[in-house]
Structure formats: C-alpha cells, structure tokens
Chain A
C-alpha cells in the first residue's frame, strides 16, 4: 500500500482509508466475506433465516462449540492443538452431575468441580507439552482417550440425570430475549479479547506462534505461556460443560464427541493460521457462527444430514484454499 498517495487527503478520509486498509490485511477479511456470503445465501433460501428468533437460535446452538473454540484459539495461536476438549467437557459435566446427584453435594460445588477437572486436565496437557517436550497432537489425543474413559467409568456409561432445576438456567435460561449460553459465550470472548490484545501474556502467545525460539531467547518464559494456554483451553472446556449440562439437564459421558474438530474448524475458518502466530479471537467467533449458520441453513433447507457433513467439509476446504496466501 502506498502511504504517500494519502498525504493530501483530509484526515477523516485518511482514517477511513486506513481502517479499510487494516481490515483488508487483517485475518478477519475472509471470515467476514464468508459470513456475509453464507448469510445472504441462506436468507434467499429460507424466509425464516433472518428473523431475530432464528438468529438467537443459531447463536444458542453454536455457544458450546463457540466457547470450546476460544481455548482452542489460544492453543493454536501458540502453534499447538488440543484434541481433548470434547472429552474433557464430557468428563467435567459428568463429574459435576455425579457430585450433585449421587453425592448430594451443593450444585455450586459440582460446578466448581467441573472447572477443576477442566483446568486440571488442561494443565496436565500443558505440562507434558511444555516440559515433557511431547507433541501437542499426541499428548491431547491421549488425554482425549483418558478423559472419555474416566467419564464412562465414573458414570458406568449411563447419563446422570436428576439435577437441581436451577442448573438448566445455564443451558436454556434467558435474560430478556437473549439466551444465557449466548451471554456466557459473549463474555468469554470479551475476556479472551482482553487477554490476547491488552496484556503481555497475549503478546507472548502470538510471539510463540510466530517464532518460539526467538521468544525464548529474548527472555519470554515460553513454557509457562504454553502451560497457561492449555489451562485456558481446559477452562473453556469446563465452561462449555456447564452450558451443555444445563441444556441436557444431565451429565452425559458420551457428549461432545467430535466437538474438538468443530472447534478447530471454527478457529481455522476464523482466519487463524494453523501454524500459529496469526489470528484474532473475533475471527473465531465469526468462524463458529459461520459453522452454525451452515448447520441451521442446511437444516432449514431440509437437506439430508449426511449430505450436510459433505457440504460443510467441502466449504471448509474451499475456505482454507482461498485463505492460503492471504495476508
């Protein structure tokens, strides 16, 4: 971009120009275009698409994967990956439900336990990756199996139901017309944005994805940062578990199978580089919503669910193909 060309322009126009410039070169450009294109197509295909109700419905549907994708964004920005989030979420929800129903503990303790399980397993992943120097994909693949197995052992393979009624507020409650899960999701994204854009920790996350060696040699405690991003991923998995448990009103050891892949898809569709170092949390939100709109729209159009998977896969491939060289 030539900067000299703008010198004579009025300040306001220049500011607008640079905002546009920023957008065009930011990782958000393509996800936004995708969002607009897909929404427009859906609006034409179905009259019900662009209604407040349907949009809130889409957001509610994407909230669980959307929350998981926040932690995934942190991990992927450092150049890692976390395959365990779906299974960790199921385990956290199952244990929370078990403590409330079988042990008769107060629900608050159950929810805290869910957070403990999520963060604990996240830190376990992080420690193995950072200090054990093992590849994240293998470590979290193993944790995925462990968490899934533990949930099934704990519950004997059956859903644990009979939760106190107020738990459903997290899954299906509303404040005004806005579903609670959507509010939780938005809050999580806001916090993530602050963390990534306004703190030194966030800068270090990007630095590690950009060049881990350089970051370490300049005195960044890269291992602590890696530990923290996996911890955050565990934390968002447990928040997702609380929402999901509220919606299902039971602890489901088999819940969330394949959610880690949806979360990764949301991150990548949101313009974050899979090798790390580049991406924005807002992009992940757009990516998650994009996936949700596809699900919703394809449903509204009455397309065979098997076919839906094929279409979604092709769209992800197309998006990544277009985004390859985008800067």
Chain B
C-alpha cells in the first residue's frame, strides 16, 4: 500500500538518510527499528509531508505522490501519532478530534451533536470507551493516545504511523493498544509501528525494516528472525573511533559515590550503582530511558520519588546542584545552549560563574586579577581555543563551548564529574580531545559518569556500563562484556522490576 524507494534527505551538506526503502502492505503491522539517530523519525516526517525528501519516491497504492505539507499527506490517507501528542489539553476528546474541521450546522454554528455521534462511532469501532466530555488533560496517556488514533481514523487514514506509542504506557495499557492495533489491521489499515522494545515487536508486528545510521539495512518477516539477529542488524559492524587506552581496573579504588536507592517515579523501577575514583561509568540506554533524570535526581534538580545516596561513605541529601558543588559533584549538562552556557557572558564570566569563593577581596568583592588568572589556568587545562578570556562564548565552536563548561568545574575540589552527552554536535577532532580530557581527569582521581547515546562512545570510553531501560538500570556490564550486542540487548529487552 505504501512504498518508499531510495529516500534520501540532506540537511545542508550533511546527508542523514542514505537511500532508504520501506514497503508497508495493507493489513499489516510493520515495525521500523533502529538505534537513536538511525533516521526513523526523519523518515516518518517525510511520509507525513512535514519535511520533503531530497531524492527518492513515495507511492501509495502504486501511485507516485509528493506531499508539500502535512495536510496533503492527511488527504492522501496518512495518519501519524507522534511521541509528543498534538492534542490541546483543555479541549475535550470530541473537540480535539474535530479541531480546525469542525462540523457546522446551517447557521455556521458548531454542530456538537453530529461531531459527538461521529466520535462515538469511531471509538466504538476501536472498542475503546473513554469520557468524551472532560478536558483531554484529565485522561490517561493511553486514553489520549486512543484519541489521537481516533482523530487519524476520523480523517480516513489508511496508513497509520505510531511513533513509540508504548514508551509511556503501562503493560495493561499496552495490551489494550495492541488489541486496537489488531482491530485496525483486520480492517485493512497499514500500520507503521516504531518501538524500542523488541518483545513488543515480536508480539504485534508482521514484518520489520531496520535502519542504521541513516542506511537501509533490510526488511524481513518477524517469523524469520531472532532477537540476536535483530540486534546485530541494528548495531552492525562499525569502524571504531580512536579512543584513549583504558587503564587497568583498580578494584581497590575507593567508592566516591554510591546511589543506594533511586526511583524516578512512584511505581517505577528502583536503581542503585557505585562509582569508584578514577573510573568512567557509562550510562547507556535509549533516549527516554531515564539516564538524564537519574543524574538530575541525584543533584536534587529533578524530583524523584526516592533518592538515597552516599558520598565518600556518608549519607547525603542534595537539595540542588549548589549542594552537589559543595560535595564535589559537577555536571556538564546535555544541552550546551539551554543548560550549560550563559550566551550573553564572556568565556571568563562563564567559567567563573560558580568559582567566586576562590577569589575575593575584602570578603565581598571579586578580585578581578585573580579571577582572570584562575580562569586562564582552567582554560589552558582544557585547551580552549579562543581569542582570549574576554571573548563571547557564542563566537566559539561547539567543542570549545563544551570545554568552557568543563573548565567551570576545574577550580573546585571536585571528585565526581557527570558528562551528559559530552560530544553531541561537535566535530571529530574536538571529540577526540574531549575523550583525552576525560582520561586525564580520571588519571587525576576524578570519577566520571558519562551519559551517551552513541554506542561506540560508550564502548570506547567506559570502564563499566550501566544499561538503562524504562526509568531504571537493568544491567551493569564491565570489561570484555562491554559490547554493542550486549548493551543493545539489555537496553531493548532487559527486565524491568516495577516497585510500588
């Protein structure tokens, strides 16, 4: 029914999809699989007309189509349910379903009764029962998802894309969703299903297409593959980056940070881990598996249901990152621009932001000479390339910006540094430099937690790896067990223990 051939997409000079094929038949559930950044979402945006392919063809029922925008894709029978819903929280289910195409009566006023009747019809077909007269915000996530699906169906969608619909659902809600999906399949709808949970793929899907780094890896029937084969298709064999050599593990190194109990949400899994001086502990997992929330909860920035930790053996409670700083825990946040840098500040001001305890005059005043000297030392240590300490940070390259945020922590007695996606969006040379810096730090006795969505980076840098899934750590691997297959298997199929 839907056939994509040799789809390519470039953003500027960078090609992100290198000729992808996808064929979805009527009455099947087709899984689209791939790691973070493999190109799944980009491909689905092309199917739904939100972005246009640079090359390749899209055909529906054998007819070539081009969608200039989302509306044209809808008119052609494509419906898409995104991860972040596009529902208006204060409107009811019916109002949402008919948003911008309300049924009107002869006076041009809303025909509420007709809309409601139509909504009821569709939901009945789905065998879904949900309150129609309350604002969407009061419905559960699963119910909201059904409203999204019903909305797509009310537009006569014959091709339905579900982008990670189960990511936020409980097991019983997932079951209900699968039931609805089976109904739709029986009714001849073609469904593209994106999920990172392999057992779901085996339960509900008929065929699979795998992408890797924007490349088309292959398609096959679910019945013909095993979990291991799928993981290998997703991970592939790739060229290793040049990472600095790992030092020998030192089991005698003191534990500087121990998280004994951490539960992000009530009813979710409870995690624990230890961090030793001089090691790099990788946090691997898919986007949304709770890695960033875990470190932010430790720092008191994110409200966790439960969080107990020990620093140097003593039980501590951190209320905010300032407490973390006091106990020697520093963070290089995930997003440089939004969470790391103050872009209106110079390099100097960015580095000295949390350093004023170091150089004061008369207790209250900044000692500008010392400020400059300390900052320049820190800049040298991380090798920031800039015109000088007074340069504005928004004139720097991504790699240098990242180093500025790192430099901020070097004037303190730090023991733990948390690097959240340290090399995201920076070039290869700067990446290698940051890897080297991290090893320099551990050699000095720092302990590092590195969150990364790049598997090669996790494997190349980590002494041990905690694998996250659905909000908790499902496995910890070390030494020669740190392989892409091992990590991906845990990240996609690891057992999650829910605790009330």
Q: Number of A residues contacting the other chain (C-beta, 8 Å)?
A: 23
Interface hits, B303-357 → A, CB 8 Å:
320-322, 324-326, 330-331, 333, 338-345, 349, 352-354, 356
Q: Contact at B387–A3, with CB atoms within 8 Å?
A: yes
| Closest Cβ–Cβ distance, residue A202 to chain B (whole Å) | 8
| Closest Cβ–Cβ distance, residue A52 to chain B (whole Å) | 35
| Closest Cβ–Cβ distance, residue B119 to chain A (whole Å) | 36
- Other A-B pairs beyond A221-B322, A277-B342, 15, CB < 8 Å: A194-B365, A198-B364, A199-B365, A203-B353, A204-B353, A210-B343, A213-B339, A215-B353, A216-B322, A217-B299, A217-B301, A217-B333, A218-B353, A219-B325, A219-B326
Complex Cα distance, B349 from A199, in Å, reads 12
Complex Cα distance, B343 from A206, in Å, reads 11
Provide the residues of chain A in CB contact with B321, threshold 8 Å: 216-219
Q: Contact at B322–A215, with CB atoms within 8 Å?
A: no
User: For the complex, would chain B's binding face be called helix, strand, loop or mixed by DSSP majority?
Assistant: mixed
Provide the residues of chain A in CB contact with B349, threshold 8 Å: 203, 206-207
Complex Cα distance, B322 from A215, in Å, reads 10
Could you list 22 A-B pairs, sorted by A, with CB under 8 Å?
A: A3-B387, A200-B356, A200-B360, A203-B349, A203-B356, A206-B345, A207-B345, A211-B338, A213-B333, A213-B338, A214-B340, A216-B301, A216-B320, A217-B321, A217-B339, A218-B331, A218-B340, A219-B322, A219-B354, A220-B353, A221-B320, A278-B344
Residue among B322, B333, B341, B387 with the most chain A CB within 10 A?
Answer: B322
Complex Cα distance, B335 from A211, in Å, reads 12
Q: Mark B207-233, 1 if CB is under 8 A from A, else 0.
A: 000000000000000000000000000
Complex Cα distance, B356 from A207, in Å, reads 13
User: For the complex, would chain A's binding face be called helix, strand, loop or mixed by DSSP majority?
Assistant: helix
Q: Contact at A199–B387, with CB atoms within 8 Å?
A: no
Cβ of B469 under 8 Å from chain A? no
Cβ of B366 under 8 Å from chain A? yes
Q: Contact at A200–B331, with CB atoms within 8 Å?
A: no
| A residues adjacent to B (C-beta < 8 A) | 3, 194, 198-200, 203-204, 206-207, 210-211, 213-221, 223, 277-278
Q: Contact at B342–A220, with CB atoms within 8 Å?
A: no
| Closest Cβ–Cβ distance, residue A258 to chain B (whole Å) | 31
Cβ of B196 under 8 Å from chain A? no
Residue among B321, B330, B340, B342 with the most chain A CB within 10 A?
Answer: B342
Provide the residues of chain A in CB contact with B352, threshold 8 Å: 203
Query: CB within 8 A of A214: which of B299, B324, B342, B356?
Result: B342
Complex Cα distance, B342 from A261, in Å, reads 29
Complex Cα distance, B408 from A220, in Å, reads 12
Q: A212 — nearest CB in chain B belongs to which residue?
A: B342
Complex Cα distance, B500 from A62, in Å, reads 63
Q: B323 — nearest CB in chain A belongs to which residue?
A: A219
| Closest Cβ–Cβ distance, residue B272 to chain A (whole Å) | 24
Complex Cα distance, B409 from A217, in Å, reads 12
Q: Contact at A207–B353, with CB atoms within 8 Å?
A: yes
Q: Contact at B341–A214, with CB atoms within 8 Å?
A: yes
Provide the residues of chain B in CB contact with A203, threshold 8 Å: 349, 352-353, 356, 366
Provide the residues of chain A in CB contact with B354, threshold 8 Å: 218-220
Complex Cα distance, B387 from A277, in Å, reads 23
Q: Contact at A198–B333, with CB atoms within 8 Å?
A: no
| Closest Cβ–Cβ distance, residue B356 to chain A (whole Å) | 3
Q: Contact at A211–B341, with CB atoms within 8 Å?
A: yes
Complex Cα distance, B354 from A220, in Å, reads 6
